[in-house]
Structure 1
Amino acid sequence: MKIQDSVFLITGGSSGLGAATALAALQAGARVVIADLREPPADSPLASHANAVFVSTDVGSAESAQRAVDTAVNRFGRLDVLVNAAGIGPAEKIHGKNGPHRLDSFARTLEVNLTGSFNMMRLAVPAMIESGPSTDDQADQSASQGVIVNTASVAAFDGQIGQCAYAASKGGIVAMTLPAARELARDRIRVLTIAPGIFETPMLKGLPQEVQESLGATVPHPARLGRPSEYAAMVRHIVENEYLNGEVIRLDGGIRMTPR
């Protein structure tokens, strides 16, 4: 699928991996709907870009998610790509100093990370189907008319102590990748998942520099934290490479997480 003139809907698009993806898409000629709880910072190029629009979105809400999809169609006329980058990552033990894991925090993690991703996907698909293939792809029966990129985590495979809720939510995203891709193949919509390792997200960048360097040193190669631009580059490759489908791609420098 060509990115030029396509329409992206990016959840969590105001910061971190989502913001990097939004900026990369705009630079490649796409139009972008940024769906997030908070607007991009005023000094961000996303805040003033003519081809970007922000819509306040709670991915776990059917009404809020539908507004985001409708914004893409009403503002830009179609929807081609959904990138689910919104997520939360609490750390809580099953049984810790304060007692059992709070059930509400477990449920909230699944609601945002897993249910939120599914919610956006189920509502984006009808809009992608109705949009049809882009003008450039109408004659190519093998060209996609929609691409969905979900975001899991290496925690789906190597969850650490205190990550039961987070790992469960990301493991669910991994598990639904193939069945979703199989089902939506009939509509020429591809579904893939990126499982990032340790990245320079706002949460990690708030840690002391020596802690960031220590975390980066655990990555086999390159021995550093991942850069949001590298996640964005993977999204771009997924969109443009028509033969990628139904796959979970670890983007982690070869790291395998230790128990703690």
Structure 2
Amino acid sequence: MSFPQALRERRRHRRLSQLELALRAGTTQRHVSFLESGRSEPGRAMVVRLAESLELPLRERNELLTVAGYAPVYPRTPLDDPALAPVRTAIEHVLAAHMPYPAIVIDRYGDLVTANAAFGVLTEGMAPELLQPPVNAYRIALHPDGLAPRVANFADWARHVLDALRDTVQRNPDDRLAALHAELTGYVGPRTEPAGALGFAVPLHLRSPDGDLRLMTTITTFATATDVTIAELKLEAFLPVDEATAAILAKRAADRP
């Protein structure tokens, strides 16, 4: 793919006009038009400004630099590299501090990076093959042999998961994520609209041997990361919606060896 095509596609995916992008990047609509038609070649600094203005993920900023003929700016360091030891320590601290509630860390594709001990509350009764690495959090959430049979509000929960994944694919097109979205849609079946309002958040209403659990989720990212690996990590924490859920999770943690 050429730079003009890459720039044009990314701008359209974000539903920005050439003028809007130009204003964000501190240039003119004429210059953006020339860049997209190939009549002008961008300098390295301009490519970086355009990528920032488009709010591209770091991986895509590197790709835009590459197709423009420049070396990538943002490193992609393996998570087990000694240089990222402080990051791994910080993640483990956050996961431990979230006990007795489940928390996981996933990568851009939803593959599980790590989790705290309470994650077992969510994986009870799943088919063993779904828990073989690489474990995909999106897949186990909606697979008929995964979490799905235990989710009392599966239609709402599935729509929440699929809509979030669809929005990601639309904003940052990726063949692997698109294939995963298609796979998960096949598990869910025809879409049905909710009977009423969902409230301030879509809960996970999960059946368990100790009683029903009602959980809502929060997602945390490293907002200031300049390394691709770190920027793509997401920490998803499950929080109790009611006191009964909190009590069950606290008891489960106390009983755990």
Class of the TM-score when normalised by the shorter of the 2 chains: under 0.3
Structure number with the higher strand fraction is 1
**How does the TM-score come out when normalised to structure 1?**
0.24
More helix by share: 2
Structure possessing the higher radius of gyration over alpha carbons = 2
